[in-house]
Amino acid sequence: MKLTVQHVDGMRFLATGDGHTIVVDAALEDGGGGTAMSAPQLWVAALGACMLEFAVNSCRLRGVPVERLRLEMGYEEIPGPRRVGPLKATLYLEPEPPDDVKRRLIGVARHATLVNTLVHPPEVDIRFAVEGAETDADL
């Protein structure tokens, strides 16, 4: 799997992969234009979407309506080293489900792909391309 991130202008970037494109822009306070979500916002959004995907799938398998299911992500950015700090995911489902359904949905969300990635972080290898070599991004 591979995606490409390209500089557009200022602090804006295009990320493309598998026929999809998203815009990333740094926050105003970081020198960006604020025209799109920042990379940390997109990272938190992806984590929330991944958890909600698992929750929705569990609901559908058990006949639980998902029309009024949502997840809110709370987070902060921490300096030194700069990173996303504590995360809080809150599930909402109307009408309010029984406690066993709540426990099941929290359990499946805890096993979402990106949550597992945080628990077992991948090694990050950053390097410059070597002229004439195939891309190292092809894993």
Does pLDDT of 139 surpass 80? Answer: no
Q: How much is the pTM? A: 0.90
Q: 96 in a domain, yes or no?
A: yes
Segment 97-121 shows an average pLDDT of 97
Domain range for residue 52? Answer: 38-123
Q: 103 and 51 in one domain?
A: yes
Do 47 and 21 share a domain, yes or no? no
Q: Are residues 49 and 83 in the same domain?
A: yes
Q: What is the pLDDT of residue 16?
A: 98
The total domain count for the chain is 2
Residue 57 has pLDDT above 90, yes or no: yes
Does 115 have pLDDT greater than 90? yes
- What is the structure's pLDDT at 78? 94
Identify whether 130 is part of a domain. no
pLDDT at 95: 94
Please indicate, yes or no, whether residues 43 and 29 belong to a single structural domain of this protein.
no
Q: Is 54 helix (H, G, I), strand (E, B) or coil?
A: helix
Residues 85-95: pLDDT tens digits? 999 999 999 99
User: Per-residue pLDDT averaged across 59-79, rounded?
Assistant: 96
Residue 61 and residue 13 share a domain: no
Strand partners, 22: 15
Residues 47 and 107 in one domain: yes
The pLDDT of residue 135: 62
pLDDT reading at 130 higher than 70:
yes
Cross-strand partners of 6: 14
pLDDT score, position 136: 58
- The stretch 31-57 carries a mean pLDDT of 97
Cα separation of 67 and 82, whole Å? Answer: 37
* Residue 43, domain CATH: 3.30.300.20
Residues 6+ apart with CB under 8 A from 12: 23, 24, 25, 26, 32, 33, 35, 36
Rg of the Cα atoms in the chain: 18
Regarding whether 44 and 108 lie in a shared domain, the answer is yes
Please state the rounded mean pLDDT for residues 129-133: 83
Q: Which of 89, 29, 17, 84 is nearest to 53 (CA)?
A: 89
Say if residue 22 is in the same domain as residue 78: no
